[in-house]
Amino acid sequence: MNDAEFELLDRIEDDHWWFVGKRLLLRALADRHAPSGRLLDLGCGTGGVLRNLSGNRPCLGADRSRAGLLVCRKKGFDRLVCADLSRIPFAPGSFDTVMALDVIEHLDDEVGFLRAASELCSPDGVLIIAVPAFQWMWSQHDETFQHRRRYNARQLRSTLEGAGLEVERLTYTNLFPFPLVALWRLVSHRLGAGRLAPKHDFFRLPGPLNRLLIGLYALEAWLLGHFDLPFGVSVVGIARRAAPGAST
């Protein structure tokens, strides 16, 4: 992302339904699969999820964007490193949880990145990887945020296993907004939005609708504690380093 996108996130992420919902979902998944220990958020951006998880565990963030890290610091989180994700400046085995949320869809070599990220995990450590779902939902939003691809669950599994990881869980997320987001993406494409200047989907909604969607995300966070979800705007993989000699 460029500085303008980080400025946008700074303005809206505290109360916008998408970002509040994202924090609820990732908190539910982290509490279930990686509830303690040192956590590293690779590509932490403006740090919304990172700040949400840092209350009861040591957390660090890394991102190459100084603009994103500046927002983190402005909002009170300063355990940060400015670094290119192709040269992650931490010793192997330093963290119990490594997250890469909406990161690998930006990369040419996502498998190489995942291998390097897994080396940062302790032997019992876990990776939490979130990506946008379904290539047929490609839109100007993806163009604006410089995505290279979207994934379905099968493709994310293949990518994780290709990096030598054992997949513990795969689930779609952002379930309740899916019908509206999918409709908007398809309609905007049909109307020729691809020929217009790049845009994003983070427009504001009226307060009551914004609050309704946040309430639905709270319900989805509860569901994720008990079930995998069959579809959604995003897909999340929970994975661990394969034991020596194990085949994937």
Q: Which CATH number fits domain 3-241: 3.40.225.10, 3.40.50.11890, 1.10.10.10, 3.40.50.150?
A: 3.40.50.150
Cβ atoms of 161 and 110 closer than 8 Å:
no
pLDDT tens per residue across span 198-226: 466 777 889 999 999 999 999 999 999 99
Lowest-pLDDT range of 30-34, 160-164, 195-199 = 195-199
SS3 letters for the chain?
CCHHHHHHHHHHCCCCHHHHHHHHHHHHHHHHHCCCCCEEEECCCCCHHHHHHCCCCCEEEEECCHHHHHHHHHCCCCCEEECCCCCCCCCCCCEEEEEEECCHHHCCCHHHHHHHHHHCEEEEEEEEEEEEECHHHCCHHHHHCCCCCCECHHHHHHHHHHCCEEEEEEEEECCCCHHHHHHHHHHHHHCCHHHCCCCCCCCCCCHHHHHHHHHHHHHHHHHHCCCCCCCCCEEEEEEEECCCCCCC
**Residue extents of the structural domains in the chain:** 3-241
pTM metric for this prediction: 0.91
pLDDT tens per residue across span 62-93: 999 898 899 899 888 889 999 988 888 899 99
Cβ atoms of 10 and 71 closer than 8 Å:
yes
pLDDT tens per residue across span 140-188: 888 888 899 999 999 999 999 999 999 999 999 999 999 988 988 888 7
Question: Which two three-digit tokens encode residue 179?
Answer: 């019908």
First-to-last alpha carbon distance for the chain, in angstroms, is 33
Report the share of the chain in percent with pLDDT over 90: 66
How far lies 106's CA from each of 52, 66, 102, 110, 121, in Å?
A: 24, 18, 8, 8, 22
